[in-house]
Structure 1
Amino acid sequence: MKKLSLGIIAIFALSILTSCEAINTIFKAGMWWAFILMFGGIALIIWLLSKFMGGGKK
């Protein structure tokens, strides 16, 4: 069901947008996902390093 609704939304968006606008929207979404994933990865690495270096001990 989720794939069906995602497909309908994608077809609707592509029918409204011109090809250049659609590509631009896809790249903008990809750029934001890249920033979010990079921030999450860096935060995870810092957290893991603090745990391994004994940052959580009292």
Structure 2
Amino acid sequence: MTIEPPALPPTAPTPPAAVPALPRWSSTVLLGERREALIDHRGEQYRLRLTAAGKLILTK
């Protein structure tokens, strides 16, 4: 006669690794009281602009 070990309970799925939070800046920090700001990125210059409708536009 063979004795079998008791059945193991089902295992819960492993939760995904925690994703670090993305950095976040307020548009008022970037623009201040102005409606435009210049951003330097890898030797290129980009313009961040606040439109009359309150939207942000980033252009090269």
Same fold (TM over 0.5): no
Which one has more relative contact order, counting CA pairs under 8 Å at least 6 apart?
Answer: 2
Higher helix share: 1
Q: Which one has the bigger strand percentage?
A: 2
Structure showing greater radius of gyration is: 2
TM-score by length of 2: 0.21
Q: Normalising to structure 1: TM-score of the pair?
A: 0.21
